[in-house]
Each structure stands twice: as structure tokens, then as C-alpha cells.
Structure 1
Amino acid sequence: MKVVPDIFPCEQDRAQFQHFAELPGIELYQAHISRYAFEPHTHEAFGIGTIESGAQRFRYRGTQYVAPVHSLVMMNPDELHTGESACEEGWRYRMIYIDPEEMDRLTGDRHWWFSDALRTDARLAQPFSLLLAKMWQAGSALERQSVLMELLEYLRPLAHQGQTRPVERAHRFDRVKAYLRENLAGPVRLEELAALARLSPWHFLRSFKQHFHVTPHQMLMAFRLFEAKQRLAQGESAAAVAAVVGLTDQAHLTRAFAHRYGITPGRYQKQVWTGR
């Protein structure tokens, strides 16, 4: 009898993560996905990667993209997005997730951001993909650190740094997002969120979905599961994490985590926890 159920409907589909003690704030990810559709989720980190075969469809900042083979995907932190196959055979891809503060520390350049979510240029994607594979297979901390510096040097011309990012005006939903982050484990009611935005519940829900392309509950679940991901990576038990982030129990965490990330909490923790 299997204690941990299969996650993907296709047996060939796999998702793997790596963390490294000498590289805090860095996560490597590689996967092959055929039939699975990732629900809206956030990494709250830069997510940069390449499509090595097939094609992916994803929604990011209200726009639908299709990333073909040998394309480069660049996502800024704290942006909800989805992911699914755009072709019959699915897609195989590699990603690196970099905490924005760690990006600043490593490069000495503040306020990185990417204006293009997708570059369909094999001359950009293939060398980056090779570097990601090299970092995944590196045999020592020094080698991984060196490859990471190569990756960042490669990305630098594709990004903006400093104060060139357009200033985003405060939005009435900023308070709502902050409230959701601060109340992961507490009961959240639609009337409370609507009052923060100074709208009726009906107008609030309609406007929120139009602005973010997700419901408040979907956003709350994305925040809960990102927090769960961080805590699991630090070695906390799945049962304790479920309680802290406001999920009913460990089984609820397992189902929700798998729907967002394509892997059970237990498998994720086994792959990434360094025991430090």
C-alpha cells in the first residue's frame, strides 16, 4: 500500500527540487509535465528558466503566454502565475528561483526586474539551460557558486537594475494582499476584505478577479502554500506546517501542495532539506 499517492496523472511526469547549504535563497527545479495544470501560485522570488522540449502555456500578469522549446521564461517576484502543457507531449523545463534580497547581495545591483516574461530565442535559452544543468550536477559548493555567478552574469543584460522600474501607484487592493499575508491561519471573510478596499462584497470580488485574475481565496491559498514551502525547507513537520498556515490537517496540506507544486510536502522536504 502506498502511503504517498502518485501526484501526476502521467507516470512519466516528474518534478525535482534542489537546495544548497552554501546558497541560501536559491532553489533549482527541473520537471517534465504532460497533463498536469498548475493552479495559480507564487514563488515570491525571481523565476528564470528554459523550455527544453515541448511547449508550456502560462498566465502571468493578466497575459496568456505560450513558451515553445528553446525559449527563456523570466518572472519577477510575487507574481501569481499558472502553468500547463501547450502540446500533446507536454513540456520539459529547468528553473532557478532566486530570492530578490539574495540577488541584490550577490550582484551588488539593487532592484532587479525583468520587463519581458518570455524570450523565444534559442541563442539565449540554450546556453542558459546548459548552465542550469551544470549547476544541478555540480560536485562541490565552489563549483555551484561559480556556475551561479555565470548565470547571473548571463542574465544581467536581460534585466533592469536600479530605479528604472516604473513606479507602481498604490492600489486599493494592496491592503487586501497585506491582510491576506498577515492572516494565513485565521478565518478570513469576504466582508472584511471588501471593507479594506471600501467596496461592497459584490463589487470587490468582481474587481479583484478582474485585477488579479484569481479569487481572494486562490490568492490566500497561494500565500499559504508558499509559506508552507518555506517552512518545509527548514525541516518543520508537515502536520505543524499545516496548522501554522491555516489548513485543516496534514492531508489537506498534501492535496493543496501537490496541486500547486506537483509534488507532496514529504517528497519536497526530502529533496531540499539540508539539515542545517
Structure 2
Amino acid sequence: MQGVPHQFNHPTDQAEFRLPAHRAGIELYRAHIVRHAFEPHVHDGFGLGAIEAGVERFRYRGADHLAPPDSLVTMNPDELHTGRAETEGGWLYRMVYIEPSVVDEVTGERGWWFGDVVSEDATGARRVTALLDALWAAREPLAFDSLLLQLMDAFRHHARIPRRARPEAASRFAGVIDYLRAHLAERVTLDELAAVAGLSPFHFLRQFQARHHATPQQMLMAFRLSEAKRRLTAGEAPAQVAAATGLADQAHLTRAFARRYGVTPARYQRQLQR
């Protein structure tokens, strides 16, 4: 596809985003990825979708997973993950990224959580694919919201409700996560993070990596790019976004954003304006 080589390593790689104008906290995404390998990144909301063709390999919660055709993908918020093709022709998929508060509002239930990240459910996956296609095409708010309720219903029996309590280590590191989010534009040190957790630096580093399957630096970069995405959505200029999120410059933002989301910041903003 013309115009993509500066974003991808292969001309057939494509990724598109869409935001519904009337409903905050929701982002639609569809892509065909052949050669691009997504670096570790996070999403503020749940990542719910279906694989239409091909097989994706990704790392999530410290383990490798394969998502084959006609499977559902159910990722929890703020879980670091990667993504690349396992099959020669890449993989074709659709996703919705939806903030937990929106899930609560749409379903009338609190505490959705998913234990399995991949579920082989051909009937469910085809229904989700059709609903995500319909949501992408919907331009009337009422039609969109009606389809959104159907989509949540399609994922309902895969969710765990209420959410199970996390291990004690999670609460210990909750302050660290908050600290990282609050200091995106700064040069954070290991000693600072260890002090927040009340541990010695390298003991903290070992425990953090064991809990999150990522280093604090990887998590910080994932949060920086997630915040960059939010700011770009709000219409901020890429240069301003780079400065606000602790990236070296606009070129650094462009490279890092494309590696994680499959499009450059400028192209992402153009897609949202359609």
C-alpha cells in the first residue's frame, strides 16, 4: 500500500483507528499485519477483538500465546503485550479498546476481568467480527450504541465477574505504577521507584519484573506511548506530545508510536478526523 513504507517494514501491513464522536473511552481498530512486530505496549482499556485470518503470536503476562483464525482475544487494561505474525501471510483482525468505566456503564456490571487472553470460539469470533465491522460503519449514535451493547453481550460469558483480588504484590506496586504515570516527562531512577515500593533497588527490580513480566523502563515507555496516543487524540501537535511524554523529540515519538501502534502519529490523527 502506497504511503506505508515509512511506517511498516512490509508494503501490505495496514492499520486503521476510528473514534466514535459521541462516545468517549472507545477506540475501534482494524489491521492486516504481515511483517511488523509490535513492541511491548499497553492500552488504557480492555482490548477485545477477533482474529479473522492468519495467526498472531504475542507475549502477555510473561507467556507466549497464539491466536488462530476464528479466535477471540480478551486483554485486560494496562497489561503489557507484543504482537507479530506467526503465519506467512500475516494476520487479519479487528479490535475495540474500551475503558473499564464504559464497560461498567454499557453492561450495568462492575468488575469485568478476563482470565484467558485467547479463546477458540468460532461462532463467537465470527459474531464479534461482524459486530466490529458494523460498529466501524455506524454513523448514527443510536445505532452505534445498540451495536456496542450487542458486542459486550458477545464477550459476557468470557468475563469473570466480579474481578478477583490481585496478589499482594500488586498493591505494593500500585504506587509505583501511579508514580510512573505521574512522571512520564522525567528521567525516573531505579532508586526513586524502589523507595516508593519500600524495597532496596535491585530487590525491587527483581520483584517488579516477576510481577509485571517487564522492566520498569518498558512499563514507563508503554505508559508514555499510551499517554501520547491520548494527547494525539485530543488534537495536540506531535512535537508538543513528544515533549510532554518524555520522548527525545518528534522523530523519537514517530518511531516509538509506529512500532507500538502500527501507524505514525500524523497518520493516526488524520484517521481520527475522517
Asked whether the two chains share a fold, i.e. TM above 0.5, the reply is: yes
Map of 2:269 onto structure 1: 269
Unmatched 5+ stretches in structure 1 = none
What is the aligned-residue identity percentage? 54
For residue 235 of structure 1, report the CA deviation from its aligned partner. 0.7
Query: 205-214 vs 94-103, which deviates more?
Result: 205-214
Map of 2:226 onto structure 1: 226
The 2-side partners of 1:115 and 1:181 are apart by: 25
- 1:183 maps to 2:183: yes
Q: Per-residue CA shift, 1:101-130, capped at 9, x if unaligned? A: 111112221111122211112111111111
Q: TM-score, normalised by structure 2?
A: 0.93
Contact 1:235–1:273 (Cα < 8 Å) also in 2: no
Which amino acid in structure 1 is aligned with residue 151 of structure 2? L
For residue 203 of structure 1, report the CA deviation from its aligned partner. 3.0
- 1:91 maps to 2:82: no
Which amino acid in structure 1 is aligned with residue 125 of structure 2? A
Map of 2:208 onto structure 1: 208
Map of 2:14 onto structure 1: 14
RMSD between aligned residues: 1.9
Map of 2:163 onto structure 1: 165
For residue 146 of structure 1, report the CA deviation from its aligned partner. 1.9
For residue 76 of structure 1, report the CA deviation from its aligned partner. 1.2
Query: 95-104 vs 201-210, which deviates more?
Result: 201-210
Q: TM-score, normalised by structure 1?
A: 0.92
For residue 66 of structure 1, report the CA deviation from its aligned partner. 0.4
Contact 1:76–1:113 (Cα < 8 Å) also in 2: yes
The 2-side partners of 1:24 and 1:175 are apart by: 27
Q: Per-residue CA shift, 1:71-97, capped at 9, x if unaligned? A: 000011121111111122111100011
Map of 2:27 onto structure 1: 27
Map of 2:73 onto structure 1: 73
The 2-side partners of 1:235 and 1:83 are apart by: 27
Contact 2:4–2:13 (Cα < 8 Å) also in 1: no
For residue 6 of structure 1, report the CA deviation from its aligned partner. 1.6
Q: Per-residue CA shift, 1:36-55, capped at 9, x if unaligned? A: 11111110201101111100
Which amino acid in structure 2 is aligned with residue 167 of structure 1? A
Which amino acid in structure 1 is aligned with residue 154 of structure 2? Y
Contact 2:48–2:97 (Cα < 8 Å) also in 1: yes
Which amino acid in structure 1 is aligned with residue 254 of structure 2? T
The 2-side partners of 1:74 and 1:188 are apart by: 31
The 1-side partners of 2:219 and 2:180 are apart by: 8
The 2-side partners of 1:200 and 1:90 are apart by: 44
Which amino acid in structure 1 is aligned with residue 68 of structure 2? P
For residue 250 of structure 1, report the CA deviation from its aligned partner. 1.2
Contact 1:233–1:273 (Cα < 8 Å) also in 2: no
Instruction: Count the aligned residue pairs.
Output: 271
Distance 1:4-1:188 versus aligned 2 partners, 3 A rule: farther
Contact 2:4–2:11 (Cα < 8 Å) also in 1: no
Map of 2:246 onto structure 1: 246
Query: 245-254 vs 24-33, which deviates more?
Result: 245-254
The 2-side partners of 1:77 and 1:247 are apart by: 23
The 1-side partners of 2:101 and 2:131 are apart by: 22
Which amino acid in structure 2 is aligned with residue 96 of structure 1? V
The 2-side partners of 1:111 and 1:213 are apart by: 23
Contact 2:29–2:94 (Cα < 8 Å) also in 1: yes
Distance 1:3-1:159 versus aligned 2 partners, 3 A rule: closer
Contact 1:47–1:95 (Cα < 8 Å) also in 2: yes
For residue 143 of structure 1, report the CA deviation from its aligned partner. 2.1
Which amino acid in structure 1 is aligned with residue 236 of structure 2? E
